[in-house]
Structure 1
Amino acid sequence: MYKPKILLVTKSTGVYQMFCDQITDYFDDYIHLVDGTKVGMECHPDLVLASYREVVKESEFPPEKLLVARRTVDLSKVGALIALSPGTRCLVVNNSYDTALETISCLENLGLNLELLPYNPEIDALPRDVDVALVAETGKEFVPDSIHRIVYIGMRPIDYATILEIGFRLGIPIPEPQVYSSNYIRQIVQLSGQLSRALENERDLNRQLDAIFHTVHDGLIGLDKRGEIIQANQSAHKILGRGPLVSPLLGQKVDDVFPGIEMSDISDQETIQQLDDRYFVMNRSNLDEGRLGSVIAFQDVTRLQKLEQDFRKRVQAKGLMTRYSEESIIASSEKMLKTISVMRKIARTDRTVIILGESGTGKELFAHTIHKLSDRRHGPFLPVNFAGLPETLAESELFGYAEGAFTGARRGGKPGLFELAHNGTLFLDEIGDASPSIQALLLRVLQERHVMRVGGDQVIPVDVRIVAATNRDLRDLVREGKFRHDLYYRLFVLPLYIPSLRERREDIPLLVEHFVRQYSGGRLDVSPDVMDKLVAYDWPGNVRELEAAAQYMTSVAEGQVVTVDDLPHQLFQLSADDSEEIMDDDDILHRSDAKMLRVILECMDWAKSHGMSRLGRSAIVAFARQKQIVVSEQQVRNRMVILRELGLIETGNRRQGSWITAKGEQALKRIRDRMRGDA
């Protein structure tokens, strides 16, 4: 029996195999199939069946023997298409542009509400705002890299009309056509079952979402594109004082529900809005960039606002808030402006800061400002000074204590400074004076971020930013074993150095005018002679000493101008620039820095008595600190200039050190005798 021969011309082995399976399934063994990719017309086919239209143009197949297969949609994949949101922009990807157009035509015939765009690798311009690609079982490699969601729609099978035409052209009787129709209908029934189950699952999901929607404590209002309310949960009715049973919010314009609130200003960021005497926290989420409407979430925080205001009043009453800000820093010198610039950058981080500088330079002012500029500015700010904190009280002050921890403990216990500073900043002033035991406890808190009260057994998490300050050289303390090296590295994350007043003399006139105006009520001016002396003075006590001098001058001045006669006593004494004014070395006793000058002489006298003929400035700094006098090498240098010009010490060339003279030894003896007599 002769079998008609069909030459199958396809672009992929997958399509070829699908055609073979379909034709064989329908015509059984009545037809002989030949792969067109391996042989051509030399096989003398009775019919050429092609999967694409381009074959008509690019081959010499006779038209009477050529049939381009009409193709349909794989019904088993339709469910994935229906699951896409209406209006979704989709690329229909194929290696042939015409085939992509044919696929779009088939999909549109199904009535899908999708925006379908043909695409093949030869297209250069990719349409905008496309997130989904529709591809067959193969062809993923043609999808642009910018698209991350791929929906497989399967390979399009031969439609029923093409099957019938094959039979007519080859003169083959159609064997039981109802069987093919039944198979097609069976696929539709299966698809309907899948969609029915999906719909039931969607109904269950909607019921769950509806239950969640109405149990959320925030008010939720759904809007359509025109700003009309299409859904509102029970909390929305309750907050707005509406009856949920009759759903009075539905159908209203949102602008009518919230009169006076500009709804276009509400974004996905929470903002506080006022409506009459009520405050609402509100945010808005657009659905599909607003094309499907939006959802507004809101909560009445009127009571919370009042509680927060009361809390802030109590916190301020306890001194837990900052007293200073950047406006409190008075400066115009290049050094200070650079320091302020670094401070602003440091403040924006949440890392540990250590502020370095001499006593009186304003380290606490900078600590307050860093907190004020940080993201923690709405949280508490608590300072603790270790120089004035007894070790016996330090642990309970920092970490608190539990009830019954010791005799006289407060009932219910007491929170420590770390707990009180939660979500805020803790300022550890004079950290160099912390005892070894407190240093160990501080290190543990910085590492673990939790505290345990004295006598307690509960671990309390804390979120605190640390700002420390010191006028001591912590590196020297580490070398001497007086400060833990691990704590040193925990603190030295963001160091900030505050220049001394003598390093920024350009700021002295500004500070003088500020303090004089502050303490005189604006009634006094400062004469040029006075200002010259104030600028020339070294100010070992820095801004703190200058402020005290301003208070003195404004208190004793009798006219409208501060004169030289109104200056404090120390400003009449020797400075680095006018040492000739000292007529007698005993006048050292009357200087504001008399103790520092005496310590330098005592250090050199001690060194000479122990066989050390010459000393450097660093040795004098160390000696002074043993005497509980904190001094820098620059300060020592300035005082040594005075002593050298008085002939009390001498200094060698090229770092040969300094030594006390015979005149200096005599002067030191007289000073000691004078001090004993005064005592």
Structure 2
Amino acid sequence: MRPTIAFISYPRLTKYFLELNPKIPENVNLEIMDLVLEEALEKALLLEQQGAADVFIASGGNAKLLSGQLASQLVEIKITGFDLLQALKSVARFSRRAAIVTCMQRFSAIEEIKQVLALDVVEISYEHPEEVDIILEKLGRKGIVDIVGGSLVVERAEEKGMRGHLIYSEEGITYALETAAQLAISERTHAEHTQAMQAIFDFAHSGILVVNQDNIITMLNDNASKITQIPKDQALGHPFSTFSPKTKLSTVLTTGKPAVDQVERIGIRDVLVNWAPLIVKNKIIGAVGTFQSIGAVQASEKKIRINLHLKGLLAKNKLDDILGESQALQRAKDQAQLYAASQSNVLILGASGTGKELFAQGIHNASPRNNGPFVAVNCAALPENLLESELFGYEEGAFTGARKGGKTGLFELAHGGSIFLDEIGELPLALQARLLRVLEEKEVMRLGGESIIPVDIRVIAATNRDLRQLVQEGNFREDLFYRLNVLVLKLPTLQEGKEDIPILLSHFLNEMGFGPEPAFLETLLCNPQFKDYNWPGNIRELRNFAERLTTLYSLAKNVDELVSLSLVEGAPQPNNDHERILTVLEEVGGNKTKAAERLGISRTTLWRRLKEIDM
């Protein structure tokens, strides 16, 4: 909305203004009102009260009266020596005698102008408009008929048959209009800024409190009073230390340095407060504090965690949730607990199905980052170009099909938390270079972007591959390997922790609602085929076995038959499987990607099977 200039004028001045037709600035509204003195004052005060005018323009007596009554800015149309000279030159065309009649104004340059123009000029000043008619009548009796003055004087003179010469010039009026426009825009901008700041102050969710350099409370919003339970009238004008003896505020006022995330007691409430100094021209003039109750902060954190959970960015499992009592597993859990306290990268090594992501989630939840996001990504599950856009994000228009507005990458989403890079050994070399930069510089750049985005993340990587061997083969960067190989956690296979099988199997069966009798479970565990099985798929395969067992239970006559059915159904047949892989590899000329596609398995699984064959 454009600011408004109220021009309090006289009819004669308005006529002259319209004849001049000055250019009115496009970014303001101009309202012209022909009013005199008391009427002008009454109207101006009403406009000011209604907020209908930002700046006023007036001249002569109107200007003198309004200047002492309005709080708003007033621009007076000034009369300069040049204006006076122009008016008297107009007189000189008709007569050698004239009178200058103005409201409480004298001109120091009048004598010089009189001499230059060779005029006989009388200068008269009045205080009240009632004096104008008397002055003009006296001048008429003296034979002076050329009258120079403001619009009121000129109007009255012309009514009496005299010649009126308006003292205002086009330059003076234009200058007043331009000045008023600049002031109006400035006033409106200042008013809008003040209103915005007041709205922020009044409606901010946090409590806001301001003190001067002497620690005296000068301002506080309603929420500050509500949170602290201290009424405004009891707080304003009193030292803040009265309500919070152990506050950090005195240090802020002394050093000029802010104090953030301070837990302080204000009144009867514990709050989380941030103090910032107010510094003007290198001098500390006070400080402002923003604070929330501890309960509100805890509620917000809970809400954030709920939102992260809804977005799938929450680690669900803790280290205590990992079942098993074997020495090998307990050692891994103890090691993971120690790693959690560190900020260094973690590399989890373990065969497929040993619970690498469970341990990654557990480490995250036991770390100081547990309130931040946990982002998991399988590096072998996506093609290289798609994996890059998922990890680093992209800007709008970065490539054909890019989402409007771009997309936030997984590294950005993990800011303040942890990112779990599963199957890190399958990461393409080009992306390995970009990952190395993230680890070294703690910053990312989106695809198609030009700006650097800082990220605060902890990387937890996992693999079932031998990364040292991949480095020797040229399939994994040596510098990235050493960046990741800081805290190494090796997970035991189920074969190495066979004593955990009864606990895990019982848990899986109960989880599936099977709830076996102790005698059944004991018979099952004593079955020779079950006891001798080496569980190449580890815990994941044991869970699959439990699921098949509950499904096939009604078909078997006894436990031995049930075990045979459940193991044979899903058990790998190494020799046949290996022979099939070798045959397909030969058919596709050794191309592992094509071989994996033809076999209906992932490249990761193919690599693992080839490792078993020692290829």
- Normalising by structure 2, we get a TM-score of 0.51
Are positions 1:239 and 2:224 aligned together?
yes
User: Whole-Å Cα distance in 2 between the matches of residues 600 and 630 of structure 1?
Assistant: 15
Question: How far apart are residue 279 of structure 1 and its match?
Answer: 7.9
Which residue matches 1:335? Answer: 328
Question: How far apart are residue 523 of structure 1 and its match?
Answer: 5.6
Which residue matches 2:551? Answer: 555
**Equivalent AA in structure 2 for residue 564 of structure 1:** D
User: Whole-Å Cα distance in 2 between the matches of residues 235 and 372 of structure 1?
Assistant: 39
Question: How far apart are residue 632 of structure 1 and its match?
Answer: 9.5
**Equivalent AA in structure 1 for residue 397 of structure 2:** G
Question: How far apart are residue 252 of structure 1 and its match?
Answer: 11
SS at match of 1:567: helix
Which residue matches 1:542? Answer: 538
| 2:356–2:462 CA contact under 8 A, matched in 1 | yes
Change (3 A) 1:636 1:412: closer
Out of 281, 285, 310, which is 2:272 matched to? 281
Cα distance per residue 1:375-428 (max 9 Å; x no partner)? 111000000001111112011100000011123322221110000000110100
User: Whole-Å Cα distance in 1 between the matches of residues 557 and 422 of structure 2?
Assistant: 38
User: Whole-Å Cα distance in 2 between the matches of residues 318 and 475 of structure 1?
Assistant: 36
Which residue matches 2:433? Answer: 440
**Equivalent AA in structure 2 for residue 592 of structure 1:** A
Change (3 A) 1:601 1:429: closer
Change (3 A) 1:472 1:220: same
| 1:238–1:244 CA contact under 8 A, matched in 2 | no
Question: How far apart are residue 315 of structure 1 and its match?
Answer: 1.6
Change (3 A) 1:333 1:283: farther
User: Whole-Å Cα distance in 1 between the matches of residues 606 and 491 of structure 2?
Assistant: 22
After TM superposition, list the pairs within 5 Å mapping 1:338-487 onto structure 2.
338-487=331-480
After TM superposition, list the pairs within 5 Å mapping 1:62-141 onto structure 2.
none
Cα distance per residue 1:46-87 (max 9 Å; x no partner)? xxxxxxxxxxxxxxxxxxxxxxxxxxxxxxxxxxxxxxxxxx
User: Whole-Å Cα distance in 2 between the matches of residues 251 and 272 of structure 1?
Assistant: 12
Are positions 1:628 and 2:613 aligned together?
no
Out of 554, 561, 567, which is 2:563 matched to? 567
Question: How far apart are residue 441 of structure 1 and its match?
Answer: 1.2
SS at match of 1:483: coil
SS at match of 2:449: coil
Change (3 A) 1:430 1:273: farther
Cα distance per residue 1:556-610 (max 9 Å; x no partner)? 33499982333263636xxxxxxxxxxxxxxxxx882314565379989x9xxxx
| 1:527–1:562 CA contact under 8 A, matched in 2 | no
User: Whole-Å Cα distance in 1 between the matches of residues 327 and 464 of structure 2?
Assistant: 22
Question: How far apart are residue 532 of structure 1 and its match?
Answer: 2.4
Question: How far apart are residue 548 of structure 1 and its match?
Answer: 0.7
| 1:361–1:498 CA contact under 8 A, matched in 2 | yes
In structure 2, runs of 5+ residues without a counterpart are 1-205, 246-259, 276-286, 586-602
| 1:516–1:524 CA contact under 8 A, matched in 2 | no
Change (3 A) 1:423 1:591: closer
Change (3 A) 1:344 1:602: closer
SS at match of 2:468: helix
After TM superposition, list the pairs within 5 Å mapping 1:201-216 onto structure 2.
none
Out of 492, 503, 522, which is 1:528 matched to? 522
Q: Sequence identity of aligned pairs in percent?
A: 37
Out of 549, 566, 573, which is 1:594 matched to? 573
Change (3 A) 1:249 1:532: farther
SS at match of 1:453: coil
User: Whole-Å Cα distance in 1 between the matches of residues 425 and 272 of structure 2?
Assistant: 45
Change (3 A) 1:489 1:251: closer
User: Whole-Å Cα distance in 2 between the matches of residues 598 and 246 of structure 1?
Assistant: 81
**Equivalent AA in structure 1 for residue 432 of structure 2:** Q
User: Whole-Å Cα distance in 1 between the matches of residues 292 and 349 of structure 2?
Assistant: 46
Question: How far apart are residue 528 of structure 1 and its match?
Answer: 2.0
Cα distance per residue 1:246-305 (max 9 Å; x no partner)? 73866998599xxxxxxxxxxx985599999x9832699xxxxxxxxxx99871257665
| 2:345–2:487 CA contact under 8 A, matched in 1 | yes
| 1:553–1:568 CA contact under 8 A, matched in 2 | no
User: Whole-Å Cα distance in 1 between the matches of residues 264 and 533 of structure 2?
Assistant: 53
**Equivalent AA in structure 2 for residue 512 of structure 1:** L
User: Whole-Å Cα distance in 2 between the matches of residues 238 and 446 of structure 1?
Assistant: 43
Change (3 A) 1:520 1:273: farther
**Equivalent AA in structure 1 for residue 573 of structure 2:** A
SS at match of 1:428: strand
| 2:392–2:411 CA contact under 8 A, matched in 1 | yes
SS at match of 1:501: coil
Cα distance per residue 1:8-44 (max 9 Å; x no partner)? xxxxxxxxxxxxxxxxxxxxxxxxxxxxxxxxxxxxx
Cα distance per residue 1:521-577 (max 9 Å; x no partner)? 6365543231124343200100000011111222333499982333263636xxxxx
User: Whole-Å Cα distance in 1 between the matches of residues 404 and 581 of structure 2?
Assistant: 54
Question: How far apart are residue 231 of structure 1 and its match?
Answer: 5.8
| 2:348–2:463 CA contact under 8 A, matched in 1 | yes
| 1:424–1:464 CA contact under 8 A, matched in 2 | yes
**Equivalent AA in structure 1 for residue 495 of structure 2:** R
SS at match of 2:495: helix
| 2:379–2:424 CA contact under 8 A, matched in 1 | yes
Change (3 A) 1:453 1:597: same
User: Whole-Å Cα distance in 2 between the matches of residues 540 and 442 of structure 1?
Assistant: 31
| 1:452–1:460 CA contact under 8 A, matched in 2 | yes
SS at match of 2:437: helix
For these two proteins, the number of residue pairs brought into alignment is 360
Change (3 A) 1:254 1:296: farther
User: Whole-Å Cα distance in 2 between the matches of residues 297 and 489 of structure 1?
Assistant: 46
**Equivalent AA in structure 2 for residue 522 of structure 1:** G
Change (3 A) 1:353 1:602: closer
Are positions 1:498 and 2:498 aligned together?
no
In structure 1, runs of 5+ residues without a counterpart are 1-215, 223-229, 257-267, 285-294, 573-589, 607-624, 638-679
**Equivalent AA in structure 2 for residue 280 of structure 1:** V
Structural RMSD (CA): 4.4
Change (3 A) 1:602 1:221: closer
SS at match of 1:340: helix
Change (3 A) 1:274 1:220: closer
Change (3 A) 1:521 1:247: farther
Change (3 A) 1:243 1:269: closer
User: Whole-Å Cα distance in 2 between the matches of residues 236 and 444 of structure 1?
Assistant: 46
Change (3 A) 1:334 1:548: same
User: Whole-Å Cα distance in 2 between the matches of residues 247 and 275 of structure 1?
Assistant: 14
